[in-house]
Chains A and B, each alone.
Chain A
Amino acid sequence: MGAIRREFLKTLFQKRTYIGWAGLFLVPFLITIAFRFSSGGPGSRGGQQDVGEQFFQGIRTNGMYVSIAALLALATFLLPLLSSMSGSYTIAGEAENHTLRSMLMQPIRRGTFLMAKWFAANLYVAIGLVIMGIAALIAGGAVFGLHSITLFSGQDAGIAHALGLIAASYLFVFFAMMAVVSLAVFFSTLTNSSLTAVAAALVLTIIFEALQAFSVFDFLQPYLFTSHFSDWTNLFRSPVTWSPIIKALIDLAVWIVGMSGLAYWRFRRKDILS
């Protein structure tokens, strides 16, 4: 725990930590303001014609939907960006600042060091999601009020039930972001430039997302972690459609373990020359 505490303390001493969290805090307020002062929404411009449209359209009458809409809006770019940044700084950022050698000259196992960094990077993302969720409830509740929601299957879910579903959705997205963090940590062990690692992780994530748009790559879909970024919407059915959720969790777990394992394998034998 000492190693994790130390790594998280270092995170708290960086300005970019607060910039990322501030962004996640602001987005729900921006969504709320946008819906409060406009008659249209993402759906009215011809986009977002999917299950998420119901959430966006529901915002004007129920602030509870703000937290869901924020998750839909950010799960494809801002959250992967912050996750990439968080994961990329772990090793490459320290190497860039030449503090990696100072840390590894202390008696700590490389595996412990890497895992503490991985954990702290994920903790950063988790706190960001909590901030976003709370901000969404505050903004949505203040402007539109918090009421029971209507599930895709047509039934109503009371406030407590809805809050539980929203918490589970955020947890699911956090798990998906852990895959991005793990990918970024792996790239971070390959370079001494955090920007290179961020770019590599983000570009790969965006390419995976782009592949979803072409049917010729459909055979890849089950294996891409990005395919599961919106699978949490299956929670908003009664009964819950567990099959895609469980499959998504298994796929994401494979990515998380695989990328973290590769990072460990690489970092354990890496010559620290920075």
Chain B
Amino acid sequence: MSASTYDSALDAQLPLGCDGRPIVLSTHGLTKDFKRLRAVDNLDLSVCRGDVFGFLGPNGCGKTTTIRMIFGLTYPTKGYVQVLDHKLPRDRVEALRHLGGFVDDPMFYGNMTARRNLRLFGEMNGPVAEERITEVLEAVGLADRGKSKVGGYSHGMRQRLGIALALIHNPDIIVLDEPTSGLDPQGMKDVRELIRELGARGTTVFLSSHLLHEVELVCNRAVIMSKGRVIVQGLVSELHPASHAVKVLTGDQSKAWEIISAMAAPGSARHDEDYIVVDSGDGFVPEMVRRLVAGDVDVLAVVPAIEQGLEDMFLELTAEGEIAKSAGAPPAGAGGGK
């Protein structure tokens, strides 16, 4: 797969952010109303060159509406999108020359083969060589189905073809709306690896997802959105609150709960499905295991609860009542999020 090429002279003219890297995609007071419904509310976000940027939020929070405005499919009620030095909706065509990707499910002409679809769409942004079509089909694992009609494709295969189309011109920025939606576990793994690879090659990726784990796995920066508004934005590592929690599974969870809750600080232990989750400090885990064993409780597993911090924060931030109270936001979330 070819590395992304970009104009370094242009980069010098772009505003800087993120440790001195140029901002290649940004929204400025972006707002979209559907009649009385405010789907996106004064959205300001910045994506820098080389970011794999997570656009995180629950279903219906305005992610897809935002992406539609990024691609110039819908017009903002207020504000604008900037792609490199092009403002949307005014410079829509120029901006789209630097963007690839899809919104919602990628859709193609079912009565044409995958190769013909790629050529048809790809040629709208310049010539497309047959070799390039082969290359992108190989990159997404569809090389042997290139001559099949897309009408016979599964949802997952269409997702992959959508990514192939996004890659075909090596755009500066790739915008993917829930690209692992509908994929089997191996497909999800492949797509995430592909996104990481794109990021490593310098392509800026804007990844919309409602899966926290996915964003944590592949993104370096992220924004969490709720009710059409940005709740928090920054490095994923900074968004992730420091957590020393561990999940404990034993042969007798009732007895283990008595032992653990007695030794842990008040409020630091809780149940989570089959596990006991407890915030651990220095030397806590070895002492806990010793006491459990001494209490004749079989310790089956003690694992770090790595996802706990971000997940708790996400749920807390996007909880309806809290957001409405803190932001005073009107109801939002139209726009057909998946």
Contact = CB atoms under 8 A, between A and B. Distances in A.
Interface of A: 2, 6, 9-10, 13-15, 97-99, 101-109, 269, 271-273
Contacts of A99: 107-109
Interface residues of B, number: 30
A contacts with B: majority SS = loop
Contacts of B120: 6, 9-10
Contact of A97 (B68, B99, B107): B107
A271 B108 CA distance: 20
A10 B109 contact: yes
B145 interface: no
B103 A105 contact: yes
A107 B126 CA distance: 10
Nearest to B103: A101
Interface in B88-138: 93-94, 96-97, 99, 101-112, 120-121, 123-125
B275 interface: no
Across the A-B interface, give the 5 residue pairs with the lowest CB-CB distance, nearest first: A106-B124, A107-B96, A98-B107, A272-B73, A271-B74
Interface string B56-96: 00000000000010011111000000000000000001101
B336 interface: yes
Nearest to A108: B124
Contact of A107 (B73, B74, B94, B109): B94
A99 B105 CA distance: 10
A106 B98 CA distance: 10
B112 A13 contact: yes
B75 A271 contact: yes
Contacts of B104: 98, 101
A14 B111 contact: yes
A6 B123 contact: yes
21 contacts: A6-B123, A10-B109, A10-B120, A98-B107, A99-B107, A101-B104, A102-B102, A102-B108, A102-B121, A104-B71, A104-B72, A104-B73, A105-B102, A106-B124, A107-B93, A107-B94, A107-B97, A108-B124, A269-B75, A272-B68, A273-B73
A102 B93 contact: no
Contacts of B73: 101, 104-105, 271-273
Q: Looking at B107, B108, B111, which has the most chain A CB atoms within 10 Å of its CB? A: B107
Given A9-B120, A106-B121, A106-B124, A101 B107 contact: yes
Contact of A13 (B97, B109, B335): B109
Of A14, A102, A108, which is in contact with the most chain B CB atoms at under 10 Å from its CB?
A102
Indicate the member of A15, A269, A272 with the most B CB atoms within 10 Å.
A272
Nearest to B334: A273
B31 to A, nearest CB: 14
Given A106-B121, A107-B124, A98 B105 contact: yes
B178 to A, nearest CB: 15
A272 B74 contact: yes
A64 B226 CA distance: 72
A91 to B, nearest CB: 13
Nearest to B73: A272
Nearest to B121: A106
A15 B124 CA distance: 24
Contacts of B106: 102
A245 B71 CA distance: 47
A130 to B, nearest CB: 24
Contacts of A106: 96, 121, 124-125
A192 to B, nearest CB: 12
B106 to A, nearest CB: 7
Contacts of B111: 13-15
Contacts of B75: 269, 271
A273 B336 contact: yes
B266 to A, nearest CB: 51
Contacts of B124: 6, 103, 106-108
